[in-house]
C-alpha cells in the first residue's frame, strides 16, 4: 500500500465484481449453472460442452480472457488487415485521418536538462493541468496527446491539441511536429497488420500498451518508458470529459465500487487490497472533480520500429523487460496492432482507454522528465543517459540567455574526469577561434599546448610577466599581491605609503612596476619608524627575494600572445609563493584572453586563490568584470573540503568563497565522497535529488548545472582528445 503510485494502478476502466471483471464473473456463473443443469437435470452432453466452453472463455490470459482473445482472433481473421493513415497540411492546418479525421495543432516543449533534478517538471505539469481544466470547463470531450519522440539521439516532447487550441506557457507552436509525433510522412501511408506487428514499405513497427503500474521510486510514473531506445516513441493520450458529465461519472464510479464491495462481503468473500485501492482512487477522483479538476480517460502506448521482424521482436522483449524493472506492465497486443496504432492518434475516440485520471495526476505522470541536454550546437563534450550528445560553451549559454555570466566551476575527486573535460572544453574553444590562457600549477597541460604549436611558459625560468592592467586595476592588484605576500592586510600606514609611491610610479607607468615601487620606498628602509619600511621589505621580495623573477626582471617581459597560453607554475606549487604567483598569473591571463576576443582563463588548483583572503577579495572584483572583458573563468576544485577549509565556519572569507562559486552559472560536479557531497549540497543549495545523483555518479560522469537547467553527462573523449588528456603515464610506467 505504501508503494502504490498516487494516481494510477491496475486498469480500473473495466467494471469489476468480486475482484474480477464483471463479464468474467457472469461467464463463470453461467458456466456453473449450465453445467449443473446439464449434469443433474437434462443430462445433455451438448449443454455440458457449451457451458464448459463458456467456463473456459472466462479464464484469464494475460490482461485478457480466453473469450476476448478468441473474439480478437476472429476479428483479425475476418476483417481487412490494411489500415490507412493520412496526415496532410491543408490551408495552414494539419489534418490527421484514420478512423476519424481531425485538425490538430502541434506544440513543442522547449526544455533543457533533466527536468526532475530542479523541479521544472512540476511546473510543466501544473501548466498542463490548468490547460486541460480550462478546456474541460467548456463542456464536451476533447482529446489531447503528448509524445516523447526520438530523432536519432535527440528527444523532443510534442503536444498535439485540437485546432484552435493555445498551448500552455513553455510550449512553442510547431505544426511540423505532428509528423514526428505520428511517425508519418506527408500524405497517405498504408500499414499491413500482422498478428504481432505492422509492416510498411520501409520498416516494421510494434505497438505496446501500458496495462498498469506497480511502484515508482521517484514519483515519475512514466519515467521507465521514456528511454526504451532510439526508435521508440512514448504516446500518452487523454480525453477530457465535460464538467457536468465528469461529476456524474465520478459519482457513479464511487457508487459502483461501494456496491461491489458490499456485494462481495455479502457473498462471503473478503475484499482484496486491489479493490480497496481502486475504491480509494475513485473517491479521490470524485473529490478532485468536485474541486474543478478535469476528468480524463487515459491510454499510454509505446511504438517501436526496426528494419526487420527479428530485430523488432528483440526490441519489444527488451522494452517489456525494462518496463517491468521500473514497475510497469506493457501488453503486446496480438491481433490489435492496427487498432492500437490508430488509437494513438489525436482525434481518435478512446475505445481502448485503460485508466481514469484527473488533471491532478499530471504531476505523477511527469511525462517530459527525460534529459534534453543543453540544446546547443557544437562539438560534443559527452553523452546523456539516453545517448544524445551534449555540447556546452559558456559564451553560447550567455548568448542564448541561459546564464547571466560565463564563469565555470569544475569540481570532483581525483581521477574522475575534471582535467579531461577542461582540456576538451579548451580544445573545442580553440577550434572555434577563441583564446585560452591556462594557469597550470602541476605542469599537465603541455600536451594541449603542443597540439596547437605552443609550449608551456614557466614563470621564473622562461622569463617574467607583467600582470598589471590599467592604472586602477593595477593598483588593486599590487595591493593584493603585497598583502598576500606578507600574509596580512595592509595597515593604514602602509596604505598611505603605498598610495604615495603609486602616485609617483603610476604617472609614468614604468616597465617594471614592482621594482619602481621598491625604489620609491627605498628611503624607508633606513628609518625603523617609517610606516613604509615593512612595505619596502615586502616589495624587495619581488625584486631580489623568493618572488624574484616572476614579475620583475632585467629583460623584457614575456610576450604572452597566441591563441593558447599555458603558464606553468609547477615550481611554485605547494610553496608559500603559490597564492601570489597564481594571483598574478590570473591577472596576466585576463589581459591576454580579453585582448582581442572572448576567451577562457583556466585556474587549476583554485584553492590557492580561494584560501588567500587578499587574492579572494581581488578575484571577486575581477569576477564581476568577466562579461565586460569577454572572459570566462574556469575554476578547477579538486576537493570541496578545500573550499570548506577557507576561513572559519561563518567567517566572511568562507562566505565570500562560497559566494564566488555560487556566482558561477555553469558547474561541472563530478563524483564526491558522501561527506564532501553534503558540503557541496550546502554550498551550492543542491536539491535532495541532485545530492543523491551526485553521490551515485560513476567515473567520468558529471552533474552539469547551467543556469536553471541540469543534466547528467558522461564525458566521452574521442581519439584526438585522448592524446591531450592522458595523465596516467607515470602510473603505467
For 726, residues 6+ apart whose C-beta sits below 8 A from its C-beta are 447
Task: Give backbone dihedrals phi and psi of 637, rounded to 5 degrees, phi first.
Answer: -115, 120
One domain, residues 606 and 721: yes
Q: Across residues 322-337, what is the average pLDDT? A: 86
Q: Across residues 401-427, what is the average pLDDT? A: 87
Q: What is the pLDDT of residue 207?
A: 94
Other C-beta atoms closer than 10 Å to the C-beta of 645 total: 14
Q: What is the pLDDT of residue 169?
A: 85
Using pLDDT thresholds of 50, 70 and 90, give the confidence band for residue 592: low
Flag whether 372 is in a domain.
no
One domain, residues 479 and 393: no
DSSP assignments along 468-480, one per residue: --SHHHHHHHHHH
What tens digit of pLDDT does each residue of 85-101 get?
888 888 778 888 887 78
Model confidence at 386: pLDDT above 80: no
Model confidence at 3: pLDDT above 50: no
3-state SS, residue 11: coil
Model confidence at 714: pLDDT above 90: yes
Q: What is the pLDDT of residue 729?
A: 46
Nearest-angstrom CA–CA distance, 638 and 640: 7
Question: 195 or 466: whose pLDDT is higher?
Answer: 195
Q: What spatial distance separates the first Cα and last Cα of the chain, rounded to whole Å?
A: 58
Q: Give how many domains the chain has, as a whole number.
A: 4
Contact in structure between 190 and 290 (CB atoms under 8 Å): no
What tens digit of pLDDT does each residue of 198-223 get?
998 788 999 999 887 654 444 677 87
Q: What is the pLDDT of residue 705?
A: 92
Highest-confidence segment of 213-217, 343-347, 516-520: 516-520
One domain, residues 49 and 188: no
One domain, residues 328 and 444: no
One domain, residues 673 and 713: yes
Contact in structure between 239 and 296 (CB atoms under 8 Å): yes
Q: Cell digits for 508?
A: 609614468
Flag whether 30 is in a domain.
yes
Q: What is the pLDDT of residue 715?
A: 92
Nearest-angstrom CA–CA distance, 582 and 604: 9
Q: Cell digits for 353?
A: 482507454
Highest-confidence segment of 31-35, 328-332, 479-483, 503-507: 328-332
CA distances from 238 to 107, 157, 284, 370 (A): 16, 16, 18, 20
Flag whether 624 is in a domain.
yes
CATH number for position 525: 1.10.8
Using pLDDT thresholds of 50, 70 and 90, give the confidence band for residue 507: low
Contact in structure between 693 and 114 (CB atoms under 8 Å): no
* pTM, full prediction: 0.78
Flag whether 513 is in a domain.
yes
3-state secondary structure 403-463: CCCCCEEEECCCCCCHHHHHHHHHHHHHHCCCEEEEEECCCCCHHHHHHCCCCCEEECCCE
Model confidence at 712: pLDDT above 90: yes
For 158, residues 6+ apart whose C-beta sits below 8 A from its C-beta are 106, 107, 108, 109, 146, 147, 149, 174, 177, 178, 180, 181
Question: 473 or 257: whose pLDDT is higher?
Answer: 257
Q: Across residues 37-55, what is the average pLDDT? A: 78
Nearest-angstrom CA–CA distance, 612 and 586: 14
What does R_g of the chain's alpha carbons equal in angstroms?
35
Helices 613-623 & 652-662, crossing angle to 10 degrees? 30
Q: Across residues 490-494, what is the average pLDDT? A: 85
Final residue belonging to a domain, choices 78, 104, 120: 78
Task: Give backbone dihedrals phi and psi of 93, rounded to 5 degrees, phi first.
Answer: -120, 140
Nearest-angstrom CA–CA distance, 334 and 350: 19
Model confidence at 731: pLDDT above 60: no
Residue 680 CB-density burial (10 A; 0-12 exposed, 13-18 middle, 19+ buried)? buried
Q: What is the pLDDT of residue 4?
A: 44
Identify the CA nearest to 162 among candidates 186, 180, 150, 145: 145
One domain, residues 194 and 333: yes
Q: Cell digits for 247?
A: 461529476
Final residue belonging to a domain, choices 63, 78, 93: 78
Other C-beta atoms closer than 10 Å to the C-beta of 685 total: 8
Q: What is the pLDDT of residue 5?
A: 43
One domain, residues 195 and 331: yes
Q: Across residues 352-381, what is the average pLDDT? A: 85
Model confidence at 196: pLDDT above 70: yes
Identify the CA nearest to 581 among candidates 495, 661, 455, 461: 461
Q: Across residues 611-616, what is the average pLDDT? A: 70
Among 84-98, 647-661, 712-726, the minimum mean pLDDT is found in 647-661
Q: What is the pLDDT of residue 111?
A: 86
Q: Cell digits for 483?
A: 598583502
Nearest-angstrom CA–CA distance, 327 and 692: 21
One domain, residues 223 and 157: yes
Contact in structure between 358 and 292 (CB atoms under 8 Å): no
Contact in structure between 192 and 336 (CB atoms under 8 Å): no
Model confidence at 471: pLDDT above 80: no
Nearest-angstrom CA–CA distance, 606 and 585: 12
- Residue labelled with grid coordinates 598576500: 484
One domain, residues 310 and 447: no
Identify the CA nearest to 555 among candidates 512, 602, 606: 512
Final residue belonging to a domain, choices 557, 591, 606: 557
Contact in structure between 570 and 458 (CB atoms under 8 Å): yes
Return mean pLDDT, the chain.
81
What tens digit of pLDDT does each residue of 99-145 get?
778 888 889 998 888 888 888 888 888 999 999 988 888 777 888 88
Q: Cell digits for 555?
A: 629583460
Flag whether 376 is in a domain.
no
Other C-beta atoms closer than 10 Å to the C-beta of 5 total: 20
Among 59-63, 215-219, 281-285, the minimum mean pLDDT is found in 215-219
One domain, residues 523 and 636: no
Nearest-angstrom CA–CA distance, 134 and 123: 17
Among 242-256, 263-277, 291-305, the minimum mean pLDDT is found in 263-277
- Using alpha carbons only, give the angle 278, 280, 283 rounded to the nearest 5 degrees: 110
Flag whether 282 is in a domain.
no
One domain, residues 660 and 590: yes
Q: What is the pLDDT of residue 730?
A: 38
Model confidence at 538: pLDDT above 70: yes
For 451, residues 6+ apart whose C-beta sits below 8 A from its C-beta are 427, 723, 724
Q: What is the pLDDT of residue 317?
A: 92
Flag whether 271 is in a domain.
no
- Residue 149 bridge partners (DSSP): 156
Flag whether 8 is in a domain.
no
Residues, the chain: 733
DSSP strand pairing (435-440 vs 599-603): parallel
Using pLDDT thresholds of 50, 70 and 90, give the confidence band for residue 165: confident
- Residue 108 bridge partners (DSSP): 158, 172
Other C-beta atoms closer than 10 Å to the C-beta of 610 total: 27
Question: 621 or 324: whose pLDDT is higher?
Answer: 324
Q: What is the pLDDT of residue 217?
A: 46
Model confidence at 12: pLDDT above 70: no
Q: What is the pLDDT of residue 577?
A: 66
Model confidence at 6: pLDDT above 60: no
One domain, residues 592 and 507: no
Model confidence at 397: pLDDT above 80: yes
Contact in structure between 191 and 341 (CB atoms under 8 Å): yes
CATH number for position 691: 3.40.50.300
Q: What is the pLDDT of residue 16?
A: 64
**Domain span including residue 170:** 82-242+294-365
Amino acid at each position: 500500500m505504501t508503494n502504490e503510485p498516487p494516481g494510477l494502478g491496475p486498469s480500473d476502466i473495466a467494471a469489476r465484481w468480486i475482484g474480477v471483471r464483471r463479464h468474467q464473473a457472469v461467464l463463470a456463473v453461467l458456466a456453473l449453472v449450465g453445467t449443473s443443469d446439464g449434469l443433474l437435470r437434462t443430462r445433455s452432453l451438448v449443454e455440458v460442452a457449451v457451458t464448459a466452453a463458456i467456463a473456459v472463455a472466462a479464464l484469464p490470459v494475460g490482461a485478457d480472457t480466453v473469450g476476448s482473445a478468441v473474439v480478437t482472433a476472429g476479428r483479425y481473421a475476418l476483417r481487412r488487415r490494411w489500415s490507412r493513415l493520412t496526415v496532410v497540411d491543408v490551408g495552414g492546418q494539419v489534418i490527421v485521418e484514420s478512423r476519424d479525421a481531425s485538425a490538430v495543432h502541434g506544440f513543442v516543449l522547449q526544455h533543457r536538462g533533466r527536468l526532475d533534478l530542479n523541479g521544472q517538471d512540476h511546473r510543466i505539469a501544473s501548466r498542463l493541468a490548468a490547460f486541460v481544466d480550462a478546456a474541460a470547463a467548456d463542456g464536451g470531450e476533447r482529446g489531447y496527446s503528448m509524445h516523447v519522440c526520438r530523432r536519432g539521439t535527440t528527444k523532443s516532447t510534442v503536444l498535439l491539441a485540437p485546432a484552435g487550441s493555445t498551448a500552455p506557457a513553455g510550449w512553442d507552436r510547431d505544426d511540423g511536429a505532428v509528423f514526428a509525433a505520428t511517425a508519418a510522412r506527408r500524405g497517405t501511408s498504408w500499414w499491413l497488420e500482422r498478428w504481432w506487428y505492422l509492416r510498411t514499405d520501409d520498416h516494421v513497427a510494434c505497438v505496446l500498451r501500458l496495462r498498469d503500474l506497480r511502484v515508482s521510486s521517484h514519483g515519475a510514473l512514466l519515467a521507465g518508458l521514456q528511454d526504451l531506445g532510439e526508435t521508440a516513441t512514448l504516446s500518452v493520450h487523454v480525453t477530457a470529459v465535460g464538467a457536468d458529465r465528469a461529476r456524474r461519472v465520478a459519482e457513479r464510479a464511487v457508487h459502483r465500487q461501494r456496491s461491489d464491495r458490499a456485494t462481495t462481503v455479502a457473498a462471503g468473500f473478503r475484499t482484496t487490497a486491489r479493490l480497496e485501492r481502486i475504491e480509494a482512487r475513485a473517491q479521490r477522483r470524485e473529490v478532485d472533480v468536485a474541486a474543478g479538476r478535469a476528468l480524463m480517460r487515459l491510454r499510454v502506448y509505446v511504438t517501436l520500429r526496426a528494419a526487420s521482424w527479428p530485430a523488432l521482436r528483440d526490441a519489444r522483449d527488451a522494452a517489456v523487460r525494462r518496463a517491468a524493472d521500473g514497475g510497469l506492465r506493457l501488453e503486446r497486443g496480438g491481433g490489435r496492432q492496427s487498432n492500437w496504432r490508430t488509437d494513438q492518434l489525436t482525434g481518435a475516440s478512446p475505445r481502448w482507454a485503460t485508466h481514469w485520471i484527473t488533471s491532478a495526476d499530471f504531476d505523477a505522470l511527469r511525462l517530459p522528465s527525460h534529459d534534453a541536454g543543453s540544446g546547443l550546437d557544437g562539438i560534443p563534450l559527452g553523452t546523456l543517459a539516453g545517448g544524445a550528445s551534449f555540447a556546452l560553451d559558456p559564451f553560447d549559454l550567455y548568448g542564448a540567455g541561459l546564464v547571466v555570466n560565463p564563469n565555470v566551476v569544475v569540481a570532483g575527486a581525483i581521477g574522475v574526469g575534471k582535467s579531461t573535460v577542461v582540456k576538451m572544453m579548451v580544445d573545442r574553444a580553440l577550434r572555434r577561434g577563441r583564446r585560452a590562457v591556462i594557469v597550470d600549477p602541476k605542469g599537465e597541460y603541455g600536451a594541449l599546448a603542443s597540439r596547437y604549436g605552443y609550449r608551456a611558459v614557466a614563470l621564473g625560468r622562461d622569463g617574467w610577466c607583467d600582470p598589471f592592467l590599467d592604472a586602477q586595476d593595477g593598483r588593486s592588484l599590487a595591493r593584493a599581491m603585497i598583502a598576500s605576500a606578507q600574509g596580512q592586510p595592509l595597515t593604514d600606514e602602509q596604505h598611505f605609503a603605498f598610495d604615495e609611491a603609486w602616485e609617483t610610479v603610476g604617472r609614468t607607468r614604468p616597465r617594471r612596476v614592482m621594482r619602481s615601487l621598491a625604489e620609491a620606498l627605498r628611503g624607508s628602509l633606513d628609518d625603523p619608524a617609517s610606516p613604509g619600511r615593512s612595505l619596502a621589505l615586502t616589495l624587495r621580495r619581488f625584486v631580489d627575494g623568493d618572488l624574484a623573477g616572476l614579475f620583475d626582471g632585467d629583460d623584457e617581459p614575456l610576450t604572452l600572445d597566441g591563441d593558447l597560453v599555458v603558464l606553468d607554475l609547477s615550481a611554485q606549487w605547494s610553496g608559500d609563493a603559490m597564492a601570489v604567483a597564481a594571483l598574478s598569473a590570473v591577472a596576466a591571463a585576463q589581459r591576454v584572453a580579453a585582448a582581442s576576443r572572448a576567451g577562457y582563463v583556466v585556474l587549476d588548483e583554485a584553492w590557492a586563490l580561494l584560501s588567500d583572503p587578499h587574492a579572494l577579495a581581488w578575484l571577486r572584483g575581477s569576477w564581476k568584470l568577466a562579461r565586460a572583458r569577454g572572459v570566462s573563468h574556469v575554476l578547477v576544485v579538486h576537493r570541496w573540503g578545500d573550499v570548506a577549509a577557507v576561513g572559519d565556519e561563518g567567517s566572511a572569507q568562507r562566505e565570500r568563497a562560497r559566494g564566488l562559486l555560487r556566482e558561477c552559472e555553469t558547474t561541472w560536479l563530478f563524483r564526491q565522497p558522501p561527506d564532501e557531497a553534503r558540503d557541496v549540497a550546502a554550498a551550492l543549495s543542491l536539491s535532495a535529488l541532485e545530492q543523491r545523483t551526485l553521490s551515485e555518479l560513476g567515473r567520468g560522469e558529471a552533474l552539469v548545472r547551467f543556469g536553471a537547467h541540469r543534466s547528467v553527462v558522461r564525458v566521452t573523449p574521442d581519439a584526438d582528445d585522448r592524446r591531450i588528456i592522458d595523465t596516467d603515464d607515470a602510473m603505467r610506467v
